[in-house]
Amino acid sequence: MDRVVVFDTTLRDGEQAAGGMLNMGEKLDIARQLESLGVDVIEAGFPASSPGDFEAVKLIGREIKGSVICGLSHANPKAIDRAWDALKKVKNPRIHIFLSASEIHLSYQLNKTRDEVLTLAREMVARAKTYLDDVEFSPMDASRTDPEYLCKIVEAVIDAGATTVNIPDTVGYSIPGEFGGLINTLVTKVPNMDRALLSVHCHDDLGLAVANSLEALKYGARQVECTINGIGERAGNASLEEIVMALKTRKDMMGLDTRINTKQIYKTSRLVSELTGFVVQPNKAIVGANAFRHQSGIHQDGVIKRAITYEIMDPRTVGIPSSSLVLGKLSGRHAFRQRLAELGYALSEEDLDRAFASFKEVADKKKEVTDRDLETIVAHEIHAVSETYHLNHVEISCGNNSIPTATVRLIREDGQIFADAALGTGPVDAIYRAINRIVEVPNRMTEFTVNSVTEGIDAVGEVLIRIESDGVTYTGRGADTDIIVASAKAYMNALNRLMSVERKDHP
C-alpha cells in the first residue's frame, strides 16, 4: 500500500490545547473544511467527555459524508456505549479506544497489572466490535512501553477485532531512529499485524513529531494522526500540512502519497487559526507568513530568475497565490527594480542608481522598507511624477436621504480647465466617476485603504489606492484633514502615474 491514510484530530486532540475550546458551530465549520481538504478520518470529539462533545460528534457525523467520522473512547463499557450512541447514524463511523500501556502509567495512573490491562484491552475492543466494524485501538504511551509487552497488546486487540492499531508517542519522548525501530519491531514480530492498519500519533515535545511520523511511515505505518497547524496538548501534535507536503515534495524518497487536496491547505490553516485564536508563527513551515517570503538579496535574485533556486515548493500548491520579496538591507538591485515596476515605476539606469543608493540608506535604519517608503524615495530622488491633470476643486453633496453627487474641476498641463459632475453609490464613488468622465483612462481599482497619519480629532487622513491597467499596478496616495478630498488626491496621483508611464511607452 503506497497511500497514507490521513487521520485528523484537530477537533479532538487539537482542541485539548490550552485555550483552544471550540463551540459546536465552529467545530462543524472546521469539519466541513477538513472534508474539502480530503482528510480520510476526522476525529470529531470525545463523546463521553461532555454533553457538548457528544452533540458535536453527532452533528458532524450527520453533516459529513466524505470522511470517516471517529469518536474517542475510554476503555470502559459506558464510554464505548456513549461513543456508539453519538455515531450510530453516521455513514462511516469509527470508535477509537485508548488505554495506557507503559509501566509508568500502569503504576502511577491506572494501578493495574499488565495482565489486567491486556484483558481489558481485548474485552473493550470486542465490545465496540459488536456495534460496528471499524474499531481503532491505541496503547497510550506506547513509545515508553516495553516492546515485548506492546507486541502482546497489539496482537490481542487485532484478534479481538481492531482494524487499526495506533502507536502513540504520547509525550513526545521518541527520536526518529528509535521510533522507526519500534514500528519495525511491530511489523516483523506481531504475527497478525497484516490484518490491521498500523497508525502513529506523535507529539512535538522535542520538536520531532513530524520526523517521527515520517520515520514510522518508512517502516510500514500507513496511517498518520495529525492536526492542522500542529496544534494540540502541550507542544502540539504532528502537523498535517508538514507531513503531507513532505510526502508530496519528497516522493522520490518516500514513494508514498495521500488523497489530500493540497490547494486547500492554506485556507484550512487560516480557518483553524481564526477559530481557535492560535496565531501561526511567521516561520512556520508551509503555512507561516514567511514560508514563501524572501529577504536576502542573493535569494531574491535567484527567485526572480527561477523560483526553484530557493523554493522547493510552488506556493500555489498549498493555496498561496505567490511568493513575495521583502525589501530590506539585504535586498539587491533586481528585487528593488522589480518592486518598483510592480508599483508602476519605470526608471532609467541613472535614476535607478540614485534611488537604489537612497533605498540602502533607508534600509539600514528599518527592518523592512514598505511600498510607501519606496514611493517617497522615488518622489524625492527622481522627481515627483509630472501632473497631466491637477485637482483644482472638489465638492460633494450627500446624506442619508440624498443621492451622493460630486463636482470636480481639473486643470490639464496645457492650462485647459475641465469640470464635470457624477452620481455614485457613495461620495468617493461619485468623485471617481466624475474624474473618469474627464480623464477617460481605462483602469480597475484593486485596493482602497484609509489610515490616520496623525492623532487627535483633527487627524490627517491618508488614502492609499491601487489601480490596474494592462496588468500593471499604479499606486496613489493622498492626505488631507477631509478624507473625501484625500480620496480624490490619491486617485489623481495614481492616474497621473499611469498617464506618465503611458506617455513614455507611447510618446
The H or E element containing residue 275 is helix 265-276
**Least confident range of 154-163, 188-197, 314-323, 379-388:** 379-388
Q: How would residue 372 be classed by pLDDT, with cut points 50, 70 and 90?
A: low
Rounded Cα distance, 451 and 212, in Å:
47
Same domain, 166 and 297: no
Look at residues 137, 212, 219 and name the one whose alpha carbon lies nearest to residue 186. Answer: 219
More confident residue, 448 or 302: 448
Same domain, 396 and 492: yes
Q: How would residue 209 be classed by pLDDT, with cut points 50, 70 and 90?
A: very high
In three-state secondary structure terms, 488 is: helix
- Whether residue 15 is contained in a domain is answered as yes
Total domains in the chain come to: 3
Question: What is residue 191's predicted lDDT score, i.e. its pLDDT?
Answer: 97
Same domain, 336 and 446: no
Q: Are strands 41-45 and 293-294 parallel, antiparallel or unpaired?
A: unpaired
Residue 343 has pLDDT above 80, yes or no: no
CA 91 to chain centre: 29
List Cβ neighbours of 173 (8 Å cut-off, separation of 6 or more). 143, 144, 205, 206
Residue 380 has pLDDT above 80, yes or no: no
CATH code for the domain of 297:
1.10.238
pTM: 0.69
Segments of 16-101 assigned E as strands: 41-45, 68-74, 93-100
Which of 354, 382, 410 is the last residue before a domain boundary?
382
Same domain, 430 and 352: no
- Whether residue 496 is contained in a domain is answered as yes
Rounded Cα distance, 23 and 63, in Å:
16
Look at residues 362, 394, 363, 386 and name the one whose alpha carbon lies nearest to residue 463. Answer: 394
Residue 224 has pLDDT above 80, yes or no: yes
**Cα dihedral across residues 318, 321, 325, 326: positive or negative:** negative
- Whether residue 423 is contained in a domain is answered as yes
Looking at residue 180, the DSSP 8-state letter turns out to be: H
Same domain, 203 and 110: yes
Question: What is residue 22's predicted lDDT score, i.e. its pLDDT?
Answer: 87
Assigned C-alpha cell, 162 = 481492531
Same domain, 351 and 475: no
More confident residue, 50 or 290: 50
In three-state secondary structure terms, 322 is: coil
In three-state secondary structure terms, 35 is: helix
List Cβ neighbours of 160 (8 Å cut-off, separation of 6 or more). 121, 122, 123, 125, 126, 129
Looking at residue 296, the DSSP 8-state letter turns out to be: S
Rounded Cα distance, 62 and 383, in Å:
65
Q: How many CB atoms lie within 10 A of CB 124?
A: 26
Residue 12 has pLDDT above 90, yes or no: yes
427-455 pLDDT per residue, tens:
999 999 999 999 999 999 998 988 764 45
**Least confident range of 113-127, 279-293, 483-497:** 279-293
CATH code for the domain of 178:
3.20.20.70
Return the axis-axis angle of helices 265-276 and 240-249, rounded to nearest 10°: 170
479-488 pLDDT per residue, tens:
677 889 889 9
Q: Which domain holds residue 417?
A: 389-505
Which of 382, 413, 447 is the last residue before a domain boundary?
382
The mean pLDDT value for 298-322 works out to 79
Question: What is residue 392's predicted lDDT score, i.e. its pLDDT?
Answer: 94
Same domain, 205 and 260: yes
Same domain, 111 and 193: yes
CA dist 415 → 383, 387, 389, 410, 437 (Å): 21, 12, 9, 10, 18
Same domain, 34 and 77: yes
- For 206, counting Cβ atoms within 10 Å of its Cβ (0-12 exposed, 13-18 middle, 19+ buried), the class is middle
More confident residue, 22 or 59: 59
**Least confident range of 21-25, 46-50, 59-63:** 21-25
Kindly report the three-state secondary structure assignment for every residue of 224-270. Answer: EEEEHHHCCCCCCECEHHHHHHHHHHCHHHHCCECCCCHHHHHHHHH
Question: What is residue 309's predicted lDDT score, i.e. its pLDDT?
Answer: 85
Assigned C-alpha cell, 144 = 515508553
CATH code for the domain of 434:
3.30.160.270
Question: What is residue 171's predicted lDDT score, i.e. its pLDDT?
Answer: 97
In three-state secondary structure terms, 36 is: helix
**Least confident range of 90-104, 381-395, 485-499:** 381-395
Question: What is residue 344's predicted lDDT score, i.e. its pLDDT?
Answer: 64
- Whether residue 116 is contained in a domain is answered as yes
Same domain, 358 and 402: no
Backbone angles phi, psi at 420, to 5 degrees: -160, 170
Assigned C-alpha cell, 159 = 484478534
- Whether residue 218 is contained in a domain is answered as yes
Residue 365 has pLDDT above 70, yes or no: no
Question: What is residue 476's predicted lDDT score, i.e. its pLDDT?
Answer: 81
- Indicate the average pLDDT of the chain: 89
Q: Are strands 389-399 and 402-412 parallel, antiparallel or unpaired?
A: antiparallel
Same domain, 453 and 365: no
Torsion angle defined by CA atoms of residues 139, 143, 145 and 146, in that order, rounded to the nearest 10 degrees: 130
Same domain, 331 and 426: no
Rounded Cα distance, 116 and 212, in Å:
30
- Whether residue 495 is contained in a domain is answered as yes
- Whether residue 95 is contained in a domain is answered as yes
> What percentage of the chain exceeds 90 in pLDDT?
63
Which of 349, 382, 415 is the last residue before a domain boundary?
382
Residue 199 has pLDDT above 90, yes or no: yes
392-422 pLDDT per residue, tens:
999 999 988 899 999 999 999 999 999 999 9
